[in-house]
């Protein structure tokens, strides 16, 4: 994007190390049985692919699509389900896998939707957390990194669909206003 610059925040190596730690933590926290990983499209698919392989217990993977109106840096607050799970999750141990928790609107909505389906348990794993931005309460059980209120891209995270394939997580800096 013209005029913008990328400032590395976490390297690919730091991200992988943290994901291995979270995977081990998840393995030790859950009782025996299969874990139902739910990836929130699209940003979380890179995190989910690595997290699933950092977990040694049996996992099932599934996807949920969400559109939160607005394609730039801020969402409007309205959330719509664009793709639902493939199966029922009654009695399942669900782990919702998200790229970043910002205002909390998305995950607050999804938790409400999924709780109605009577899973045995439901927890959240998020690669990044921006706690300063929260407007809806969300309990995140596994966090990769807490970050300040800056807009980040890479490792799945986008700005207007760009930058998802960057290996590092970078802050997207705007040019100073003219």
Site string for ligand IMP, 37-56 (x = CB under 6 A): ------x-------------
Q: CB of 152: closest distance to ligand IMP in angstroms?
A: 4
Compute the CA torsion angle 30, 33, 38, 39 (nearest 10 deg): 80
In eight-state DSSP terms, residue 176 is: P
**Using CB under 5 A, which residues numbered 8 to 47 contact Mg ion?**
43
> In 3-105, at which residue ranges do the beta strands (DSSP E only) sit?
5-10, 35-41, 59-68, 79-83, 93-101
Q: Which of 152, 166, 169, 170 binds ligand IMP (CB under 6 A)?
A: 152
Between 24 and 160, whose beta carbon lies closer to ligand IMP?
A: 160
Round to whole Å and give the CA distance between 146 and 127. Answer: 9
Round to whole Å and give the CA distance between 24 and 158. Answer: 28
Question: Which region among 6-14, 29-37, 52-60, 150-158 touches ligand IMP (by CB under 6 A)?
Answer: 150-158
Task: Please identify which of the residues 29, 62, 86, 102 carries the catalytic annotation.
Answer: 102
Residues at the site binding Mg ion, with contacts judged by CB under 5 A: 43
């Amino acid at each position: 994007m013209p005029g913008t610059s990328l400032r590395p925040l976490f390297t690919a190596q730091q991200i992988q190390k943290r994901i291995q730690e979270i995977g081990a933590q998840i393995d030790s926290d859950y009782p025996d049985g299969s874990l139902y990983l739910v990836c929130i499209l699209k940003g979380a698919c890179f995190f989910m692919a690595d997290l699933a392989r950092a977990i040694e217990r049996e996992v099932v993977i599934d996807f949920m699509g969400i559109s939160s109106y607005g394609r730039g840096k801020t969402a409007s607050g309205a959330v719509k389900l664009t793709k639902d799970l493939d199966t029922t999750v009654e009695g399942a141990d669900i782990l919702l896998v998200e790229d970043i928790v910002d205002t909390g609107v998305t995950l607050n909505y999804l938790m409400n939707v999924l709780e109605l389906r009577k899973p045995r348990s439901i927890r959240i794993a998020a690669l990044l957390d921006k706690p300063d931005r929260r407007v809806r309460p969300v309990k995140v059980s596994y966090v990769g990194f807490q970050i300040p209120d800056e807009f980040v891209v890479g490792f799945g995270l986008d700005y207007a669909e760009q930058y998802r394939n960057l290996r590092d997580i970078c802050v997207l800096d705007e040019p100073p206003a003219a």
